[in-house]
Structure 1
């Protein structure tokens, strides 16, 4: 249509027509035009072309349109052969005579030119608003601009719905960094713009640049994103779930040894724990906090006799430890931070823990957390996890954690092993550790403190004196 605009702009105006007419009349008066009809026609030709430029141009376009329609209906392409060759030359392409590619190109060129010519004829009548009707040249329909779906808001709503349903006992603290990492990688906050290709590329960065383990990428990062996007799709926040099939294969883990501490390893670790004395720096200043020192003294021993997760121990508060008669009891509760199983559980404390002075330590402590310094309950879980991580690093630095054993889980595996060796009731051990029953039948009946105390009392003391 730009060519049509240019052609119309070049049509002769009234001044041009008058000028050409005056020139013709001057030639006639000067006797420059012969008396025969042929000479008069030749002399008048330039004037006629200027005067009738619009109608001549229209007639040419009408003839071209008729020829194109005729050939298109007959399946012929003679009218556009030169145009095809010119197009192929300009783009460095080839299409053999009679080939399917050349036929398709001819077809589309003819349809496009027919549309253009129809619009030019409409303009001759003063209608400049005509729109193409053939899909070959018809502009795509305008799509409604959709409101962005913010990833950050999507995560907040997903988290709140899961918490309301009784899940995410840690309030999503483990998953929130995943969503922050994804937004930072994408450099935008619109879930509508996220593609499967984006998530695959993000996965590759986690593996190759961030050097995360395949299990971490699979079980934490991709699992979180799949859950959020699945929730968004199910709740009609997104039209599809682009994360559904994005996964990371994990190597099958092979154990080169037992998962729990052996007797010798457990004794060496507990002796080091009980003997720990924080060292001052070169200026005589002790940087280690009293909470961390207490955690190094007591957390391994508490883990050894309760099978609790280290973070469940490091979140214990003074008010979570109570004495009933001559029995001391620890309550592991989400009120103090995070409990993977969800609800609270009471665990009687072993006699050796009390004999070594844990009861007196609790009585002397100020109300609140025993092993970390957080004062806001909202920060308890994160502070307890931080202490748990530091304990693991400390034990590894002492070369007391053998390869293949996770310091925060070695005690849980060991307690199960001890229970099997002693013939203790595994259902009671499961209840102490916060594990659910293996069958529906095992969930009937309550595991009481009396039952737990009987199992705890059956566990032997550790030889901690040299």
Structure 2
């Protein structure tokens, strides 16, 4: 759907190009005024054809006023308001016919006939028979006029300069033809050259679509649906990066080529990993553009197929902890005591110390994602019958599936004193200190990252695995070894079912507790 045409005015059946003049520049015009207006006539199709050149002319006047206000010499700014050869030819033709209308009201002005010699030169120019010097003598003043207006920056002698000069010769030749017809009393003549005769009316430009506004509206919808609980903090740098690269904020102007060039810039200039570029940067833009297209904010999703291939992961070993590795990590975790610095102060927070002590063993017996553990709150731990249970819920931060689940706590975790720790803790998060629920997910992720760094720095976690995620792989492996149903383990870990049949029936808390009770204790002493 076409948007409102900018710098356009209609009044009493006539059309005009108009430019508002900032108040600070009005005194620098030849006549102070709040707006500049150029009449375009009463024919809408003709007015639309003349509009670009008229706007460029008015913009140039405003630019000159800006330069004067700064004490600068009002030099032309090449191609600041670029027009095509056809647009400049149409503009010149209209200007010459308009001048003829004016002079016919001046006594004696029309006694001078058309110069036949000039007409012959114009025909030769149109045919491409003139040298550069001859073209300069014939059309040079017209070219300079458009250069001065900032509509072109062609260089004399170049192919582009010759094409423009020839186009302007076409305009003058057609205008002289109208003058000759009018001298004979025929005012009905129209251009015959293909460049000027019945040109296709340009489509009216569409209003810009703000990329920033798209992001704001998309984010509001996702948050309302229960996603992006951190307010999109992870995605905001993506939008900032794209706007900075493009140097504009109009989503309607973005092409697939723009996005491909941005992708390559992220990889080769910013040095980002292929996985980060594809899974965070491109994924975010694909989602926003898909939403914008679905909601009729954009005519197409140009980001739909823009992706970055990721290197195939090479696994040199199993992805879960072996028995010996798991035991080493848990022993170091349970025995962890923060070390004071050189001044005798302990810099590690109580929350972080608790996370290092309890998070690994909770992951070992639940296969939960590490952030699901580090976001646990005191109120998420409860006794259900004879079992202690932890509720993993998006209310505490975030859950990948968006759904809560209850996971029984293994007897060894209880025996080690975890319930005593929970009951002695203050209300709220157990493993991070964020007070604002909107920051819970980010705080839990920060603790998770620090746990992984701690395990790597200390050399406790072996190379070739993800220190936190390895527990999820290990639980699946151990459960299969002792014959626990994958369907039950999926429910414990928060994995989606693999078949339609998995969606029938429920995995009850009793079934989960029976499965977790079958997991053997670790020999920690």
Instruction: Note whether the superposition's TM-score is higher than 0.5.
Output: yes
Compute the displacement of 1:156 (Å).
Answer: 2.2
The equivalent of 2:17 in structure 1 is: none
> Where in structure 2 are there 5+ consecutive unaligned residues?
1-91, 138-155
2: distance between equivalents of 1:419 and 1:59? Answer: 99
Q: SS in structure 2 opposite 1:83? A: coil
Q: SS in structure 2 opposite 1:445? A: coil
Compute the displacement of 1:190 (Å).
Answer: 2.5
Structure 1 position 342 matched with structure 2 position 402: yes
Structure 1 position 83 matched with structure 2 position 130: yes
Greater helix content? 1
Q: SS in structure 2 opposite 1:385? A: helix
TM-score, structure 1 normalization: 0.76
**Counterpart selection for 1:431 from 463, 472, 491:** 491
The equivalent of 1:60 in structure 2 is: 115
**Count of equivalent residues:** 407
Change (3 A) 1:4 1:371: closer
Counterpart contact for 1:80–1:109, Cα < 8 Å: no
**Counterpart selection for 1:288 from 348, 351, 355:** 348
2: distance between equivalents of 1:276 and 1:123? Answer: 101
Name the stretch that deviates more: 449-458 or 245-254: 245-254
1: distance between equivalents of 2:383 and 2:217? Answer: 42
Compute the displacement of 1:211 (Å).
Answer: 2.5
Q: SS in structure 1 opposite 2:421? A: helix
> Where in structure 1 are there 5+ consecutive unaligned residues?
15-51, 72-76, 95-101
Compute the displacement of 1:194 (Å).
Answer: 2.4
Counterpart contact for 2:125–2:135, Cα < 8 Å: no
Structure 1 position 457 matched with structure 2 position 504: no
2: distance between equivalents of 1:328 and 1:54? Answer: 105
2: distance between equivalents of 1:136 and 1:220? Answer: 49
The equivalent of 1:446 in structure 2 is: 506
Larger radius of gyration: 1
TM-score, structure 2 normalization: 0.68
Correspondence 1:389-408 to 2 at 5 A:
389-408=449-468
Change (3 A) 1:276 1:87: farther
1: distance between equivalents of 2:217 and 2:165? Answer: 55
- RMSD across aligned C-alpha pairs, in angstroms? 3.9
Compute the displacement of 1:287 (Å).
Answer: 1.2
Counterpart contact for 1:317–1:370, Cα < 8 Å: yes
Q: SS in structure 2 opposite 1:204? A: helix
The equivalent of 1:307 in structure 2 is: 367
The equivalent of 2:267 in structure 1 is: 207
Q: Could you give the per-residue CA deviations for residues 100-146 of structure 1, whole angstroms, max 9, x where no partner exists?
A: xx9x9999687444323235447879999x99675525898565454
**Counterpart selection for 1:232 from 292, 295, 299:** 292
1: distance between equivalents of 2:185 and 2:479? Answer: 96
2: distance between equivalents of 1:448 and 1:79? Answer: 87
2: distance between equivalents of 1:410 and 1:133? Answer: 78
Counterpart contact for 1:149–1:192, Cα < 8 Å: yes
Change (3 A) 1:209 1:4: closer
